[in-house]
Amino acid sequence: MDKKKRNIRKSSTKKILRLLPLFAVATGLFIGLVVLLLWVGKIDKTVPASGIFEAYPQAEIKATVKDTVVDSILVEVGEEVEKGEVLIRLKDQAQVYERRAQLKERLKLAEIDLKRMKRLSDKGYVATRDRQEAELKVKILAREVSAFQRKINALTIVAPFAGTVVGIPVEVGDAVYMGQRLMFLARSEERALRMWIKEEDSGEVKIGQKVRIYSRVFCHRRHGIASGNIVAIKGYPKIRDGENYVEAVARIMESPFPVKVGSRAEAKIIIRRCSILKLLVGLE
């Protein structure tokens, strides 16, 4: 009986040994196929970011006058305004209105004097030179009146188009300098995501790259995700929560739901398509 069992064991061992090369070949083929699929297969390499939705595009309304302060703000964030509507008034600290009134009075007198000069010149009672001097005086005063009118216009900030107020970075009493941003307006229902990317992840981020956006307003697993394209990148980092972040803006191209200005979202910026194997072994 023992002899029979030993024969059976020897026979089984021989069969296993004969099959080992086949197992080795099959295993090698399987591993090779997996490696090939991982090498040929492509996956998106992404960079994470977080951000907040805002209106897009935004128009910056800037001061075109200096050495003044904000006198009154007549609108609030979120308010819809019409083209030409007054938004902000700046104080007339340089007595621009008074000086314009004085110049207009001088211009009126100069125009009367020029008319008299023309009549006398036509009759030969005054020299041509005197008439030309009177004409030049009128032109100079008219230019000065126009210059002061532009200064007056600059003290009243009006909406350049119909839209929605999305930001007011100044308060009543703030000093105003030339070129200072006074208000942000949005002219459409389009949205963008202002994103913050860790500085160490920002090296390959470029304008035009696609972005997958996961809004916190709705469940992306049930309703899907929004998508957009990067339209702006700031070239210098800022410190947020003790870390350096680079700021970028992605214009929303598609969204399963209208996104609310001010709501937050997570994003994945698609850097490029790359081999799965290279990504796994750290070559990408």
Q: Which of 58-67, 218-227, 247-256 has the lowest mean pLDDT?
A: 218-227
Which pLDDT does position 119 carry in this prediction? 82
Backbone angles phi, psi at 254, to 5 degrees: -140, 145
Which pLDDT does position 104 carry in this prediction? 84
Task: Please determine, for residue 37, whether its predicted confidence score (pLDDT) is greater than 60.
Answer: no
pLDDT bin (cut points 50, 70, 90) of residue 283 is low
Q: 63: closest CA among 173, 3, 167, 151?
A: 151
Task: Please determine, for residue 121, whether its predicted confidence score (pLDDT) is greater than 80.
Answer: no
Specify the amino acid at residue 275: S
Task: Please determine, for residue 107, whether its predicted confidence score (pLDDT) is greater than 90.
Answer: no
Distance of CA 135 to the CA centre of its chain: 51
Phi-psi region of 189 (alpha: psi -120 to 50; beta: other; left: phi over 0): alpha
Q: What percent of the chain has pLDDT over 70?
A: 78
Which pLDDT does position 127 carry in this prediction? 77
User: What residue segments make up the domains of the chain, in order of their start?
Assistant: 1-40, 43-57+188-280, 58-183
pLDDT bin (cut points 50, 70, 90) of residue 242 is confident
State the pTM of this model: 0.52
Task: Please determine, for residue 88, whether its predicted confidence score (pLDDT) is greater than 60.
Answer: yes
* For range 98-125, the mean pLDDT: 82
pLDDT bin (cut points 50, 70, 90) of residue 161 is confident
Distance of CA 12 to the CA centre of its chain: 74
How many residues does this entry show for the chain?
284
Which pLDDT does position 18 carry in this prediction? 63
* For range 257-267, the mean pLDDT: 84
* For range 220-233, the mean pLDDT: 82
Task: Please determine, for residue 252, whether its predicted confidence score (pLDDT) is greater than 80.
Answer: yes
CATH of 43-57+188-280, one of 2.40.30.170, 2.40.128.110, 3.40.640.10, 2.60.120.200: 2.40.30.170
From residue 91, alpha-carbon distances to 20, 59, 144, 156 in Å are 94, 23, 21, 9
- Tell me if 207 sits within 8 A of 163, measured CB to CB: no
Paired tokens of 272: 């490029």
* For range 139-168, the mean pLDDT: 85
Which pLDDT does position 152 carry in this prediction? 80
Task: Please determine, for residue 132, whether its predicted confidence score (pLDDT) is greater than 60.
Answer: yes
Q: Tell me what the pLDDT averaged over the chain comes to.
A: 80
Backbone angles phi, psi at 74, to 5 degrees: -100, 0
Task: Please determine, for residue 275, whether its predicted confidence score (pLDDT) is greater than 60.
Answer: no
